[in-house]
Amino acid sequence: MPRVTCVSHDGHRTTLDVAVGNTVMMAAVFSNVRGIEGACGGFLSCATCHVYVDEAFAARLPPPTAEEKKMLAQAASPRRPTSRLSCQIEMTDALDGLVVRMPPRQA
């Protein structure tokens, strides 16, 4: 099972085993990871699961859709080149070891 490490804004690290096909947001929410809210439940209608993807993994992800870019533009924290919505990051074996960092605030 691939693993993802979520790093909170204050540096706290939580590593999760995530079943292939599940999203980073769902794994984080179900594991009570602070800093990823997922208020819309993963339906791409908020930006409360905004994360900064580690540069080593950014190129392994499919590019963000127009809808994701639109939501990211409304994120509460500054957008960076590796900003993504964690509800749109579906775990695969190729993403094993993924590291995402949470921004200072989500809402």
* 42-72 tens-digit pLDDT: 999 999 999 999 999 999 999 999 999 999 9
* 104 token code pair: 């200072």
Specify the residue for token string 């409304």. Answer: 74
pLDDT at 107: 76
Class of domain 3-101: alpha beta
Global pTM? 0.95
pLDDT of residue 102: 97
User: What's the order of all strands across the beta sheet hosting 98-101?
Assistant: 13-17, 3-7, 98-101, 50-53, 83-85
Q: Where are the domains of the chain?
A: 3-101
Mean pLDDT within 27-44: 94
